[in-house]
Amino acid sequence: MAGNFLVGCGAGFSGDRIDAAVSVVAAIIASGRPGALIFETLAERTLALGHRARKNNPEMGYDPLLPEFLPLILADCVRNAIPIVSNFGAANPPAAARLIQRMAQELGLEPLRIAVVDGDDINGVVDMRSLEVCDGDASLVGDETEIVAANVYLGAKPIADALLAGAQIVVTGRVADPALALGPLVAHFGWAWDDWNRIAAGTLVGHLLECGAQVTGGYFADPGFKDVPSPETIGFPIAEVSADGDIVITKAAGTGGAVDLLTVKEQILYEMHDPAAYLTPDVTLDVTNVTLEQIGPDRVAVRGAVGHSAPPSLKATVTYPGDWLGEAEISYGGPNALARARLAGETVRRRIVLRNLPVKIRIDLIGTQSIFDSDDGALGTEGVPEPAEVRVRLAVSGVAQKAVDQSLQEVLALYTCGPAGGGGVRSRTQNRIKTVSYLVPRNAVSPRFTFLEA
């Protein structure tokens, strides 16, 4: 429709398909309409890993897939005036901006106007002890010397401001995911920040797009119940948005996947708690009056987002070093596999107790009952039908890496000391993080953008 602005999404998490943005950008260009491309790639763990990477190398700390995502579409976006907005700056947006400038040079493009949004990193800026905890383990609070990362979820304003100042690329660290879409919409339509229903509509666009293919048939297929065509070429979402905030969710023609009432409903409620009060830095979004209509193949109209004033404080997530998680697995198949698997699990458990290793233990019999059970095996595997094969999984956690590694080694030792026929041992240990979320007064934070110097 004339007057529409298009927002396409090229990634829904760090680790998404690297070529997904190609068909999205081609469709925006083919539409002849103005548009923007967003990548949402920043989870709490990704950000914490980024801060650790930056500590080792001051030019690292951005999303590890950035060098893969961008070169495929950068030239097309620049030549067609499609700004790219993303939180792939992670723990180091300036370094990401410098990398993108080098990419542009390698592609033979003129130097780009790349904006870097900052103000989200409050480590050393705000005293956490003065803040109200809103989620997480409050016992961690006060251990400020050990902070890995402390970032406020910023809103869409610095993104919109950067675009209005002529940015071709906007690189952010931590912003609220929907702000990636709301920023370009506000910049294009000139919506007032207290025009709550339009701000709500733009936020709903972001919420529907932020997980990429999850609204176009990804994370959806249930064969025989909910079938999805060609999941290997699934088209990532494109929102067509009007100046009044009417939304149509669609995807590029000729791609796999599906956009229908079912896919959109599942994504509206994804990671949502109270549907009348979805809190973002820009607006309190109410989706309880939203209506959907299938207006064409792979086209769903979304109407009725309602906005209320933005919450008085911003959310910050602070990451602390966590414990060590160790996992080791071994498989048993054929006659009496379940009994041998049970014996293997029990043997490992007794060895860890015998050696007095200070770890928390969980044993899963994968293929019988594992993902739905509890650490203490409350559901159990009594009476489950004899499976063709079982994978025994030991999971341990503890503050001492050595005890975790020693526990895993007991699975390896099953090769000679365990039940008959065990095979395929794999094990890995990883360092975890812990997070606490705080409420930060808005006046304690100064969101802004700056252009990367050419």
Partner 1 sequence: MALVALHEIAHGRAGDKGNRLNISVIAYEAAAWPALLREVSEARVLALFRHRGATKVVRYVLPNLMAMNFVIDDVLEGGVNSSLSVDAHGKSHSFRLLDMEIEAPDALQRRSQRAECP
Which residues make up the interface to partner 1 (CB under 8 A)?
Answer: 45, 135-136, 219-220, 222, 224-226, 262, 265-276, 287-292, 304, 322-323, 325, 360-362, 364, 366, 370-375, 378-379, 393, 395-397, 432-435, 437
CB of 67 to partner 1, least distance (A): 26
Q: What residues does 169 pair with on adjacent strands? A: 84, 114
| Nearer to partner 1 among residue 261 and residue 417 (C-beta) | 261
Query: How distant is the alpha carbon of residue 18 from its chain centre?
Result: 15
Q: Which is nearer to partner 1, 135 or 346 (CB)?
A: 135
User: Cα(first)–Cα(last) distance of the chain, in Å?
Assistant: 38
Q: Which is nearer to partner 1, 94 or 256 (CB)?
A: 256
The nearer residue to partner 1, 193 or 219, going by C-beta atoms, is 219
Q: Taking the complex as a whole, how short is the minimal distance between the CB of residue 206 and partner 1, in angstroms?
A: 16
Residues pairing with 423 in the sheet: 331
Question: Cα separation of 373 and 41, whole Å?
Answer: 30
Q: Tokens 């025989």 sit at which residue?
A: 224
CB count within 10 Å of CB 323 equals 17
Q: Which is nearer to partner 1, 119 or 218 (CB)?
A: 218
Q: Which is nearer to partner 1, 78 or 213 (CB)?
A: 213
For residue 138, how many other CB atoms are within 10 A of its CB?
9
**Can you tell me the distance from the alpha carbon of 30 to that of 371, in angstroms, rounded to the nearest whole number?**
45
Q: Which helix (H) or strand (E) holds 51?
A: helix 44-56
Are 314 and 439 in contact by the 8 Å Cβ rule? The answer is: yes
Least gap, CB of 38 to partner 1 (angstroms): 19
Rounded least distance, CB 127 to partner 1, Å: 23
CB 366, min distance to partner 1, A = 7
Rounded CA gap, 368 and 363, in Å?
A: 12
Q: How far, in Å, CA of 296 to CA of 425, rounded?
A: 51
Q: Which is nearer to partner 1, 43 or 339 (CB)?
A: 43
Q: How far is the CB of 22 from partner 1 (least distance, A)?
A: 27
| Closest separation in Å from C-beta 287 to partner 1 | 7
How many residues comprise the chain?
454
